[in-house]
Amino acid sequence: MANRVRILFALLVFAGFVSGCGCGDSDPATPVDAPDSTSGFMSAQPDDVALREAATTHPGDWLSYGRTYSEQRYSPLSQIDEGNVAELGLAWIYETGTIRGLEATPLVHDGVLYGTGSWSIVFALDAKTGHELWRYDPQVPRSVAASVCCDVVNRGAALYRGRVYVGTLDGRLIALDAKSGEPVWEVQTTDPSRPYTITGAPRVVKGKVLIGNSGAELGVRGYVSAYDASSGELVWRFYTVPGNPEEPFESPALARAAATWKGGRWWEIGGGGTVWDSMVFDPDLDLLYVGTGNGSPWIRTLRSPGGGDNLYLSSILALRPDTGELVWHYQTTPGDSWDYTATQPMILAELEIGGRQRRVLMQAPKNGFFYVLDRETGELLSAEPYVTVTWAKRVDPETGRPVLAEGALYGEATQDILPGASGGHNWQPMSFHRDTGLVMIPAMEMGMAFALDPDFRYRPGASNMGIDTIVASTSIAAGGFGGFLLAWDPVAQREVWRVPHRRPWNGGVLSTAGGLVFQGTGQATFEAFRAATGERLFSTPAGTGVVAPPITYEIDGEQYVSLLAGWGGGYALASADPPDETLASGNHGRLLTFKLGGERKLPTESAPKFSPEAIPVTADAALVKAGFETYHTWCVACHGPSAIGGGTIPDLRMLTPTRYTQFEEILMEGALLERGMPSFEKWLKEEDVDALRAYVLERRQALRVARSAESAPASSATAN
Ligand code: HEC
């Protein structure tokens, strides 16, 4: 049963506390002891030609993040089709050994599958058998978890000339030898004294490795960097927002941008605009498109009190890949105050629009409008809402700007707004089903209650969104609530079909020439649909909730479909909406690979059942209330609203009784730091810890009461 009332509306928030990770200095690249670090580099595969021509020359591989440079996630493989997809079965399983979120797109080249997992681990497997060839753990200090808004995830690696490139949660970029998994070079791409992290996949373009970063919830300045793939040297860096205007700007583009920031001292907090996910290269136009994120803080009033568009927040930027020079920009959400990032995956395609063949870029960013841009110029061709949108009335086709709805610019008074901060679509990749011409979007409908935090002050290293997190995480926003696979006609800008899912947070999408669309779901299934109609043709248990996108590849004439299953990501931590299946059997992080007639079975296991022993609640109401507030400031982003866990991080109502006596050690002394539980020594006082314990125990008692009420009538009907 949907637990609507309890569900947190999309608070991809987090309360961070500890800054820095003590993880090395910045620049230059450190060559790691590898005697043959460059030998064979120039001749090894896949090279630039392979990456550029992947669509035609590598039909059975998955060479880069979105399969080809256009990032359509469309595979020409058609052995698995509408007629036989029901015969799909598990070919093999790889246990990643982690229990946190898995978001990566695996890559396949030459019979080897390269994947990444929680804490930025990298693994190479025989793509036919799942046999592990090597595994590389970059040893990310677990204390970094405190600077992560949305789980300790990684969205994938890049392959180039015999190397595997991966960004790590603590801000490093590492080149590994694809054969051995040995590091060749590594470079710190961020300032470790600021709360930067990396979760996105690098891309390789013309001998350069491109990497962005995250951290705008805590307070950083966004940028994208290009490193020489061979040596790890920094080639260029493009900052997405201006720094202190009293200092020289790094580029003319930033001098222009600075005129759109008014008042305030945004550079102290950082300004935001992080490039935390989407980057797409167009070899024909020699343009690199990057999507930028929200502001730091979220609300314009707090970072640019005089108004303005705050360029280049929430924008699509077209850069020259050789120099990082800005060629054009299109801002989807001028003056963003809603966490409406434009970092969502972008797809390049050619579409016939108004009788003309256009080279387009398509994006369904968080703000709820589906954009079709002319990618040569950045001209807006069309933008229509693909989910319910209440912050803007429409996008004006003349100006290319949204027309704000009344109340969209919220202040201290609570405003229910759709989409919420999770967006109408988040990082989960969409795909372009070329044969039907439909874009398949893992969409969601979730409002959120926004209110400015009147007591906002900058706390370096902590969460600095500037919104009232208690309001956001405990109130019920207006509008619908749900998730669905949406087939969208990008030319007519209209919905063609939709398949509703039980929860909003589902997996990315794969399209194939077999007339199919594949998606894993938040209800712990892996499914396939007829691309033309959305008819469900296949569904199988995935063991745990799925958020990652599937890929497909072919080896020895046999087609495989593969995906990571591991419930997680911001929604999973902060939603109190765990899949029942995940709760029942635990969150086992696995790579599942299917083929026709596959006969492997998922292991069946069950998590220990919890029956909370009574612990007397002695605290007074005032202490519980204080605990409620502290909890929803510092704990909600990982342990869930009202202390209801999301299925991956412990539910604080269900601990063994002695645990409640160890709060001091756990919260103040960092007893569980190495397992990803931050220390709050810098932020909390002893009385806060008492209040937190009182609140959590009160919630535990409420759970006991609810459980006994549930089981009372049932107990007469069942034997035990
Ligand atoms: C950045 C995410 C994050 C935040 C924020 C966070 N925790 Fe945790 N917490 C974790 C993780 C991960 C674990 C599990 C560690 C482990 O596996 O032992 C954990 C474990 C715990 C445990 C021990 C649970 C057990 O199974 O014994 C307690 C108690 C706890 N947290 C309390 C809190 C409180 C109170 C707050 C707010 C002040 C908080 N946490 C904030 C991530 C977080």
134-187 tens-digit pLDDT: 999 999 999 999 889 999 999 999 999 999 999 999 999 999 999 999 999 999
Pair 215, 298 in one domain: yes
Pair 570, 495 in one domain: yes
The pLDDT value recorded for residue 708 is 83
Q: Which amino acid is at 305?
A: P
Pair 169, 220 in one domain: yes
Q: How far apart are CA 437 and CA 58, in angstroms?
A: 22
Report the catalytic residues: 339
Q: How far apart are CA 215 and CA 192, in angstroms?
A: 12
Q: Between vectors from CA 483 to CA 300 and to CA 383, what angle results, nearest 5°?
A: 55
CA of 100 to the centre of ligand 1 (A): 13
The pLDDT value recorded for residue 616 is 85
The pLDDT value recorded for residue 38 is 63
Nearest atom within ligand 1 for CA of residue 676 = 12
Task: Using the structure block, give the residue that is written with the tokens 């808004």.
Answer: 149
Q: How far apart are CA 116 and CA 107, in angstroms?
A: 10
CA of 677 to the centre of ligand 1 (A): 5
Tell me, yes or no, whether 665 lies in a domain.
yes
625 CB within 6 A, ligand 1: no
- C-alpha distance from residue 536 to each of 58, 91, 517, 519, 544 (Å): 29, 21, 10, 11, 20
CA of 650 to the centre of ligand 1 (A): 7
Nearest atom within ligand 1 for CA of residue 650 = 26
Pair 323, 246 in one domain: yes
Tell me, yes or no, whether 718 lies in a domain.
no
Q: Which amino acid is at 248?
A: P
Which of 580, 596, 612 lies at the terminal end of a domain, its last residue?
596
The pLDDT value recorded for residue 714 is 45
What's the domain range around 591? 19-406+414-596
Pair 377, 488 in one domain: yes
What's the predicted TM-score (pTM) here? 0.93
18 CB within 6 A, ligand 1: no
678 CB within 6 A, ligand 1: yes
Pair 570, 650 in one domain: no
Among 12, 98, 119, 638, the mutation site with the greatest number of ligand 1 atoms within 8 A of its Cβ is: 638
Q: How far is CA 541 from the centre of its chain?
A: 23
Pair 590, 469 in one domain: yes
Among 147, 639, 690, the mutation site with the greatest number of ligand 1 atoms within 8 A of its Cβ is: 639
Q: What tens digit of pLDDT does each residue of 489-501 get?
A: 999 999 999 999 9
The pLDDT value recorded for residue 399 is 97
Positions in the chain short of pLDDT 50: 1-26, 35, 477-479, 714-720
Tell me, yes or no, whether 216 lies in a domain.
yes
The pLDDT value recorded for residue 37 is 55
Which of 554, 579, 596 lies at the terminal end of a domain, its last residue?
596
Which residues neighbour 675 within 8 Å (Cβ) at sequence distance 6 or greater? 142
Q: Is residue 570 a contact partner of residue 103, using CB atoms and an 8 Å limit?
A: no
652 CB within 6 A, ligand 1: yes
Among 649, 655, 692, the mutation site with the greatest number of ligand 1 atoms within 8 A of its Cβ is: 649
Q: How far apart are CA 608 and CA 598, in angstroms?
A: 30
697 CB within 6 A, ligand 1: no
- C-alpha distance from residue 197 to each of 175, 276, 345, 423, 508 (Å): 18, 9, 19, 21, 22
Question: What is the separation, in whole angstroms, between the first and last Cα of the chain?
Answer: 23
153 CB within 6 A, ligand 1: no
Nearest atom within ligand 1 for CA of residue 696 = 35
Nearest atom within ligand 1 for CA of residue 148 = 1
Pair 357, 478 in one domain: yes
The pLDDT value recorded for residue 720 is 32
The pLDDT value recorded for residue 478 is 39
Say which CATH number the domain at 641 has: 1.10.760.10
The pLDDT value recorded for residue 15 is 30
Tell me, yes or no, whether 478 lies in a domain.
yes
Q: Which amino acid is at 417?
A: I
253 CB within 6 A, ligand 1: no
Pair 574, 645 in one domain: no
Pair 548, 629 in one domain: no
Burial 234-243 (b: 16+ CB within 10 A, else e): bbbebbbbbb
CB atoms within 10 A of CB 361: 25
Say which CATH number the domain at 377 has: 2.140.10.10
Q: How far apart are CA 137 and CA 673, in angstroms?
A: 18
- C-alpha distance from residue 74 to each of 87, 407, 517, 520, 703 (Å): 21, 40, 9, 16, 46
- C-alpha distance from residue 415 to each of 304, 408, 410, 445, 452 (Å): 20, 8, 6, 16, 10
Closest CA to 282 of 162, 374, 383: 374
- For residue 338 the two structure tokens come to 């809603």
Tell me, yes or no, whether 167 lies in a domain.
yes
Tell me, yes or no, whether 612 lies in a domain.
no
CA of 687 to the centre of ligand 1 (A): 18
Number of domains forming the structure of the chain: 2
Tell me, yes or no, whether 51 lies in a domain.
yes
Task: Using the structure block, give the residue that is written with the tokens 């705050």.
Answer: 310
Pair 235, 109 in one domain: yes
Q: How far apart are CA 401 and CA 208, in angstroms?
A: 34
Nearest residue (CA) to ligand 1, atom 6: 635
The pLDDT value recorded for residue 5 is 28
Pair 634, 573 in one domain: no
CA of 696 to the centre of ligand 1 (A): 12
CA of 121 to the centre of ligand 1 (A): 22
Closest CA to 222 of 333, 361, 342: 342
Tell me, yes or no, whether 2 lies in a domain.
no
CA of 177 to the centre of ligand 1 (A): 36
The pLDDT value recorded for residue 710 is 76
Q: How far apart are CA 118 and CA 703, in angstroms?
A: 30
